[in-house]
């Protein structure tokens, strides 16, 4: 048998990849599993997005290779979107790089800037891909703990006491996944100052800005941030286009050019129809966002009821597609969620998926219809 690469020795298959196979197997056995674990938007994108895709199929060049940097129309739409929504001015020719989903950007950025032995500051709890990609490129994850006591924000005083000489990059993600915590502009400015002081590349992963969030922010709105910061953004969550695989990286020209050195060797440009749809999405009026948030508000209220029944505590001052709940004292996250899966046919995420700081917590998704959430409530309120 051909041996696997050494780089896989410390990287496991993504939790949801393996767990969803188990859930699918249970469903084949006839189990009526309700999945409230995954953040895959179930709502439809704006109608103009679908129309733009359909109309693009008749263009003469639609089936040809496209530019590695995306069509000018797409980059211009990103620039206009950032100006309108974040009050950030971006040069569409040099400061924007379209991506096939922001997840690929995590790999491209890491390949572009990290050498073997470099250290990377990674939030705990946080998105597991930051860790796995860091390991895949031969760098070393250094976890910084987030906690309820600090409102799930990095403790900069503690970080200052951490050896930082080998740290080259720091991942942040606000609004935060999985907790929904939000960082204000003043706090983002503190993070930028920290990164400048220690010459660390600060990368903000920002896909949840417009979901149940009254004050969308970009880290590039901080004065001087472009010297040390990049930002990933995505259409997946904001516009319900997860399967389209379209996002963007924004930042200083030299940083963008460096990432392009990697990306241009990894793909051959995004399908034209997807880019046309992305342009339409980025031009969506505010009324559409307001309607989507009304839907998510109704769902979140039901999740709060579900957490009440489970005797979980939670904050109502959060943003994004998830609700993060603290389990009753002494409860084990894996045991708790497995009990719900096997006894109640409810699949929910254990907090430990996102790091050791997630022990004692669970995460529920808002990408579930009201009728399914009501059924979850009914099952929890009904004795077996």
Place of tokens 């963008």: 256
Please report the pLDDT score of residue 268 as a whole number: 83
302: left (phi over 0), alpha (psi -120 to 50) or beta: alpha
pLDDT tens by residue, the chain, 384 residues? 898 888 888 777 777 778 878 888 888 899 999 999 988 899 999 999 999 999 999 999 999 888 889 999 999 999 999 999 999 999 999 999 999 988 899 999 999 999 999 999 999 999 999 999 999 999 999 999 999 999 999 999 999 999 999 999 999 999 999 999 999 999 999 999 999 999 999 999 999 999 999 899 999 999 999 999 999 999 999 999 898 899 999 999 999 999 999 999 988 889 999 999 999 999 999 999 999 999 999 999 999 999 999 999 999 999 999 999 999 999 999 999 999 999 999 999 999 999 999 999 999 999 999 999 999 999 998 865
Helices (H), the chain: 15-28, 47-56, 72-86, 102-113, 128-136, 156-160, 185-198, 253-263, 272-282, 286-309, 333-344, 370-381
170-191: burial string, b at 16+ Cβ within 10 Å, e else = bbbbbbbbbbbbbbeeebbbeb
Please report the pLDDT score of residue 1 as a whole number: 87
Place of tokens 């696997």: 4
- Give the global pTM: 0.93
Please report the pLDDT score of residue 11 as a whole number: 76
State the greatest distance between any 2 C-alpha atoms of the chain, in Å, as a whole number. Answer: 63
How buried is 267 (Cβ within 10 angstroms: 0-12 exposed, 13-18 middle, 19+ buried)? middle
Let me know: does 279 contact 52? Beta carbons within 8 Å: yes
59-73: burial string, b at 16+ Cβ within 10 Å, e else = eeeeeeebbbbbbee
- Give me 20's structure tokens: 């969803």
Place of tokens 């400015």: 189
**Alpha-carbon distance 333 to 341, whole Å?**
12
DSSP 3-state helix, strand, coil percentages of the chain (rounded to 5)? 45, 15, 40
Please report the pLDDT score of residue 65 as a whole number: 87
3-state class of 126 per DSSP? coil
**Alpha-carbon distance 272 to 275, whole Å?**
5
Please report the pLDDT score of residue 260 as a whole number: 95
Let me know: does 11 contact 135? Beta carbons within 8 Å: yes
**Alpha-carbon distance 325 to 314, whole Å?**
5
Please report the pLDDT score of residue 12 as a whole number: 75
Pairing outcome for strands 247-251 and 96-99: antiparallel
Q: What is the CA radius of gyration of the chain?
A: 21
Please report the pLDDT score of residue 384 as a whole number: 52
């Amino acid at each position: 048998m051909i041996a696997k690469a050494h780089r896989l020795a410390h990287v496991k298959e993504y939790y949801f990849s393996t767990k969803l196979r188990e859930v699918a197997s249970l469903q084949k056995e006839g189990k009526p599993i309700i999945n409230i674990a995954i953040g895959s938007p179930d709502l439809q994108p704006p109608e103009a997005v679908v129309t733009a895709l359909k109309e693009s199929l008749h263009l003469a060049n639609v089936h040809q290779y496209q530019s590695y940097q995306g069509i000018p129309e797409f980059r211009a739409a990103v620039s206009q979107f950032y100006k309108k929504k974040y009050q950030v001015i971006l040069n569409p020719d040099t400061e924007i790089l379209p991506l096939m989903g922001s997840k690929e950007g995590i790999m491209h950025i890491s390949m572009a800037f990290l050498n073997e032995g470099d250290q990377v500051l990674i939030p705990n709890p946080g998105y597991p891909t930051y860790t796995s990609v860091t390991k895949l490129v031969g760098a070393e994850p250094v976890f910084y703990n987030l906690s309820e006591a600090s409102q799930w924000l990095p403790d900069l005083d503690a970080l200052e006491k951490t050896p930082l000489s080998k740290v080259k990059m720091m991942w942040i993600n606000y609004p935060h996944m999985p907790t929904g915590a939000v960082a204000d502009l003043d706090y983002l400015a503190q993070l930028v100052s920290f990164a400048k002081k220690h010459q660390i590349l600060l990368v903000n992963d920002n896909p949840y800005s417009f979901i149940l969030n009254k004050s969308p922010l970009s880290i590039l709105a901080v004065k001087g941030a472009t010297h040390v910061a990049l930002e990933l953004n995505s259409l997946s969550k904001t516009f319900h286009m997860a399967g389209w695989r379209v996002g963007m990286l924004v930042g200083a020209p030299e940083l963008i050019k460096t990432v392009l050195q990697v990306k241009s060797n990894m793909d051959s440009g995004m399908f034209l129809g997807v880019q046309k749809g992305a342009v339409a999405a980025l031009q969506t009026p505010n009324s559409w966002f307001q309607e989507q948030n009304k839907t998510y508000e109704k769902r979140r209220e039901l999740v709060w009821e579900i957490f009440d029944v489970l005797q979980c505590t939670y904050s109502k001052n959060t943003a994004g597609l998830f609700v993060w709940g603290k389990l009753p004292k002494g409860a084990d996250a894996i045991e708790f969620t497995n009990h719900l899966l096997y006894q109640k046919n409810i699949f929910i995420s254990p907090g430990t998926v996102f790091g050791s700081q997630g022990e004692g917590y669970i995460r529920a998704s808002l990408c579930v219809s009201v009728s399914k959430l009501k059924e979850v409530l009914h099952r929890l309120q009904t004795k077996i």
